[in-house]
A and B are shown apart, each in its own frame.
Chain A
Amino acid sequence: MRLRRRLLGAAAAAALAWPLAAGAQPIPVGHLMDNSGATSDVGVPYGQGVADAFAWVNRTRSGVNGRQINVLGFDYGYQAPRAVSQYQAWSRDRVVAIQGWGTADTEALVRFVTRDHVPYVSGSYSAALTDAAGKSGRQGVEAAPYNFFYGPSYSDALRAMLQWAAEDWKAKGRPGRPKYVHMGANHPYPNSPKAAGEALARELGFEVLPAIVFALTPGDYTAQCLTLKNQGANYAYLGNTAGSNISVLRACQTAGVEVQFLGNVWGMDENAMKAAGTAANGVVFPVRTAAVWGQEAPGMTSVQAISRISDQSGTAYRPVHYLAGICSAMLMVEAMETAAANGGQVTGERIRDGFYARKDWVPRGFEGVCAPSNFTPDDHRGQLSVALYRARVAGDTSQGSVAELMRAGTMRLEPVATITLQRKPEWLGW
């Protein structure tokens, strides 16, 4: 009984003293993840990267200006209504910034985060989110001053790949016009770059074929592959995440389709290469970071330290999405540091302004890993330089882990080209 009274007394004293304790209130940050839904195959490593990066900042840098970052994680299973519902709960809890994920929910929340002044760094790279001031004049695109993302937008990445494809066609010396087709689910995320891609393809002289639809879930896509083969396409853009792209690649390999597949940033990674095997050989896709796991770069030590947060042994192979998650989180951390500098309040508006504070921005400690980003109040297209890689799979990938296969050289990521797009104002927002 006495012990209990003592404990109660100690607790009361601590509760009274706590607000006085150095004002070290944690900074609440929301974190939407997809660990169980249609895009979980890429959502899991990205979400892990974000979470580990925040934990590492809390541990090694004592958070932001001495204040720990309180990350409120929520797995919304890629269902936009659940994300919106969680956002409304968070906005009442005064969350100052949010690490988001999917296109559908990010676009749905644009109005809300603009109204509530909450910076939102998404895993969606939809070009509609880059029109910060609403000046693009595009139909259906609203001003999104609080939306940011790390990496080239889907549309810009597709434009870069199309430019590469046009040069590739000429370099191969093939006669006539190349044929281009957009493949993806009927969903905001794959649909995002469709119009931009088809418009640029026409400009570059491609013959644009009618789009082919396949769902975001794995399945049997033999019929779609037969159609693809019949149309005689030369370049096909895969708009879905790796999980369903694998099914298409395998089905098309069986059907004997010969086409150059162009992936999106979420469409191909090391896990997908292992799952698809030789069907993934030759797929060209953009990589958002300047280096991949296992390569040498000054920033790799920080990345490996972050990886140890969730993998004590240090043996896990981290796919490209993990590194992109780290860079996304670090952008937010440095923006918060800018906001908190000189005793400033960490509010939504100040964090947003923190995004504009640097040119060719690489978070410190991650040189050579995170590519430079540039944000301006009117234009949130952070990166216009797209690094294209080709997936190379030389043999059977069913035995051995991803790490072993990469070490043995059975799977390789071969750099192809880096296409730098012009910052054209007419390309903003779509």
Chain B
Amino acid sequence: MTAMTPAGDYRTSYREDMTIFPTRNSRRALWLGIGLLCLAPLALGRYELGLLINIGFLGIAALGLNILVGFTGQISIGHAAFFGFGAFASAWLHERWHIPVALCIPLAGLMTAVVGLVFGAPAARLKGLYLAIATLAAQFILEDFFARAQWFTGGVAGSITEPFALFGWVADREETYFYVVLAWTILTYLAAANLMRTRDGRALVAVRDHYLSAEMMGINLAYYRTLSFGIASFYAGLGGALYAHYLLFVSVEAFNILFSIQFLGMIIIGGLGSVMGSLMGAAFMVLLPELVQAGADALAGGAVDRTLKLGANISFLREMVIGAAIILFLIFEPDGLARRWRLIKAYWKLYPYSH
């Protein structure tokens, strides 16, 4: 994954070569961005902060899926089930074992990682389409498990959880929980970006690009594929736990096949194999329904609204737009928003030369 560098490659140390931020400006931009986000609760309303929080934990889960699909070349149509497992696990840990919520979140991630490894081991033997179908079946089986495991999930009625609390500071409102999610998002994204420049990360990419050659080079395919499932599940579980302590209520109905498909949509729209793309894709998926709602509100009462009955059918319109967005991005922008962003940056940097 390349970023814009000044003309020519001039590095004088390994450290410079391996850095995540090739230019000073990109590092400064990141600091500026984080600073602005920290100040966001002062400027934005609850609703916008709620959207940002959604982007946060969905972005973490999408990043996990991107590691699995974009970097390792596997497919998973059951990601929502792992997200749900993390949510239920966090709620269960807190309710049953009275572990403070701050610890429940990473522990839930670890529990989900274990489950992911269990699913990943047989999945490592399957490729491509068969893997997709197997994960589809796993999604339905896990959904069924959630509905029936009363002791773990509260059955079909769901379970109620407590908000995040650290040394007496309770983060039960958007303004405060925002910082929790921001912290975890920064942590996980840095971890993923770092993973990609380590030996294991490069091994994952090798497995994706040409697994036969990778195997011949001594990379253990089964090990890395399973590891990839485990990492993806950890991220998904983390995202799920953050979701659970935001909504304070977890129910199996939320983790259906449509949700899994939305995760896949996020990484495809954002860009497969791109860390930043996962966040952009998550932002797109969260903001798209808002756009649709705004569009419907703008047209409300007019002739278009009356003939199409937009108001009553807004949820169908939302789904149609999601489906259409996925298809249009696949046809016109198959490498996703990340690539489009890179092209825009290149245009600015290299104008008037072609990029």
Binding site for B on A (CB under 8 A): 35-36, 75, 77-82, 84-85, 88-89, 92, 104, 107-108, 111-112, 186-188, 191
CA distance A80 to B254 in the complex (A): 8
List B239-276 residues whose CB lies under 8 Å from chain A. 247-251, 253-254
User: CB distance A186 to B315 under 8 Å?
Assistant: no
B123-131, B154-162, B179-187, B334-342 - the one binding chain A: B154-162
- Contact of A92 with B251 at beta-carbon distance under 8 Å, contacts A111-B160, A187-B156, A188-B156 already known: no
Tell which of B148, B249, B313, B314 touches A80, judged by Cβ atoms closer than 8 Å. B249
Interfacial residues, chain B to chain A (CB-CB below 8 A): 46-47, 50, 147-148, 156-158, 160, 247-251, 253-254, 312-316
Please classify the interface of chain B as helix (H, G, I), strand (E, B), loop, or mixed, using the class held by over half of its residues: helix
- For residue A37, which residue of chain B has the nearest CB? B315
Interface of A is mostly: helix
Nearest first, the 7 closest Cβ-Cβ pairs linking A and B are A81-B254, A36-B315, A84-B249, A80-B251, A188-B157, A108-B249, A79-B253
Given A186-B156, A188-B156, is A108 in contact with B315 using a C-beta cutoff of 8 Å? Answer: no
Q: Which residues of B contact A82 (CB under 8 A)?
A: 254
Known: A35-B315, A82-B254, A108-B251. 18 other contacts (CB 8 A): A36-B316, A75-B314, A77-B315, A80-B253, A81-B247, A81-B249, A81-B250, A81-B254, A88-B247, A88-B248, A89-B46, A89-B47, A92-B46, A104-B157, A104-B158, A108-B160, A111-B160, A191-B156
Give, as a whole number of angstroms, the nearest-CB distance from A155 to chain B: 16
Nearest Cβ in chain A — how far from B320, in angstroms? 12
Query: Given the known A-B contacts A186-B156, A187-B156, A191-B156, are A89 and B251 also in contact in the complex, defined by CB atoms under 8 Å?
Result: no
For residue B90, give the distance in angstroms from its CB to the closest CB of chain A.
15
Residues of B within 8 A of A186 (CB): 147-148, 156
- CA–CA, A89 and B50, complex, Å: 9
Q: Which of B46, B148, B156, B315 contacts A75 (CB 8 A)?
A: B315
Please give, as numbers and ranges, the residues of chain A lying within 8 Å of B247 by CB-CB distance: 81, 84-85, 88
Given contacts A81-B247, A104-B251, contact A35 B158 (CB under 8 A): no
Complex: chain A residue closest to B312, CB-CB: A35
Distance in angstroms from A252 CB to nearest chain B CB is 25
Bound complex: CA A85 to CA B286 (Å): 14
A104 touches B314 (CB 8 A): no
Minimal Cβ-Cβ distance residue in B for A75: B315
Q: Give B65 Cβ to nearest chain A Cβ, in Å.
A: 20
CA distance A81 to B240 in the complex (A): 13
Q: How far is the CA of A78 from the CA of B251 in the complex (A)?
A: 12
Give chain B residues whose Cβ lies under 8 Å from the Cβ of A81.
247, 249-251, 253-254
CB distance from A98 to the nearest CB of B (A): 16
For the complex, give the distance between the alpha carbons of A36 and B315 in Å. Answer: 7
B157, A107: Cβ atoms under 8 Å?
yes
Q: Which residues of B contact A85 (CB under 8 A)?
A: 247
Q: In the complex, what distance in Å separates the CA atom of A252 from the CA atom of B315? A: 33
- What is the distance, in angstroms, from A219's C-beta to the closest C-beta of chain B? 15
11 A-B pairs in the complex with CB atoms less than 8 angstroms apart: A75-B314, A80-B249, A81-B247, A82-B254, A85-B247, A89-B46, A104-B158, A108-B157, A108-B249, A187-B156, A191-B156
Name which residue of chain A comes closest to B50, CB basis.
Answer: A89
CA distance A84 to B253 in the complex (A): 12
Question: How distant is A282 from chain B, measured CB to nearest CB, in Å?
Answer: 30
**When chains A and B are docked, how far (Å) is the Cα of A79 from the Cα of B248?**
15
What is the CB-to-nearest-CB distance from A129 to chain B, in angstroms, rounded to a whole number? 13
For B251, the chain A residues whose CB sits under 8 A away are 80-81, 104, 108
User: Contacts of B46 on A, CB cut-off 8 Å?
Assistant: 89, 92
Q: How far is the CA of A92 from the CA of B47 in the complex (A)?
A: 10
- Residue from A78, A89, A104, A111 within 8 A of B156 (CB atoms): A104
Pairwise interchain contact B158-A80, C-beta atoms closer than 8 A: yes
Nearest chain A CB to B251's CB is how many angstroms away? 5
Distance in angstroms from B15 CB to nearest chain A CB is: 45
Q: How far is the CB of A196 from chain B (nearest CB, A)?
A: 16
A79–B254 CB distance below 8 A: yes
The smallest beta-carbon distance between A347 and chain B, in angstroms, is 22
Nearest CB in chain A to that of B256: its residue: A79
Tell me how far the C-beta of A264 lies from the nearest C-beta in chain B, rounded to whole angstroms. 17
- Given the complex, which residues of B lie within 8 Å of A75, measured CB to CB? 314-315
Chain A neighbourhood of B248, CB < 8 A: 84, 88, 112
Measured between beta carbons, the chain A residues less than 8 angstroms from B312 are 35
Q: How far is the CA of A107 from the CA of B155 in the complex (A)?
A: 13
Which residues of chain B are near A188, meaning CB under 8 Å? 156-157
Please report the C-alpha to C-alpha distance between residue A92 and residue B158 in the assembled complex, in whole angstroms. 23
In the bound complex, do residue A104 and residue B50 qualify as a contact, i.e. CB atoms below 8 Å apart? Answer: no
- Residues of chain A with a CB closer than 8 A to B250's CB: 81
In the complex, A85→B247 CA distance in Å?
6
**B residues near A107, Cβ cutoff 8 Å:** 157
Task: Determine the chain A residues whose CB is within 8 A of the CB of B253 once the complex forms.
Answer: 78-81, 104
Bound Cα distance from A36 to B249, whole angstroms: 22
Q: B306: shortest Cβ distance to chain A, in Å?
A: 13
Distance of B91 from chain A, by nearest CB (Å): 12
How far is it, in angstroms, between the C-alpha of A81 and the C-alpha of B253 when the chains are bound? 8
CB B337 to nearest CB in A, in angstroms, measures 26
Rounded to whole angstroms, the CA-CA distance of A108 and B312 in the bound complex is: 26
- Which of A82, A85, A111, A191 is most buried by chain B, counting CB atoms within 10 A of its CB? A85
Bound CA span A49–B176, Å: 39
Q: In whole angstroms, what is the CA distance A191 to B47 when docked? A: 35
Which residues of the other chain, B, contact A187 by a CB distance below 8 angstroms?
Answer: 156
CA distance A78 to B314 in the complex (A): 15
> How many whole Å from B145's CB to the nearest CB in chain A?
13
Q: How far is the CA of A36 from the CA of B311 in the complex (A)?
A: 12
Chain B residue contacts of A104, Cβ below 8 A: 156-158, 251, 253
Nearest CB on A from B310, distance (A): 12
- CA–CA, A78 and B248, complex, Å: 18
Instruction: Please give me the residue from chain B that is nearest to A34 by CB atom.
Output: B315
- Report chain B residues within 8 Å CB of A89: 46-47, 50
* B43 → A minimal CB distance (Å): 18
Q: How far is the CB of A28 from chain B (nearest CB, A)?
A: 15
Q: A79-B254, A84-B247, A89-B50 are in contact. Are A108 and B316 (CB under 8 A)?
A: no
Please name the residue on chain B nearest to A73 by beta carbon: B311
- A110 — nearest CB in chain B belongs to which residue? B160
| Residue of B with least CB distance to A77 | B315
Q: Report the bound CA distance from A324 to B147 in whole Å.
A: 31
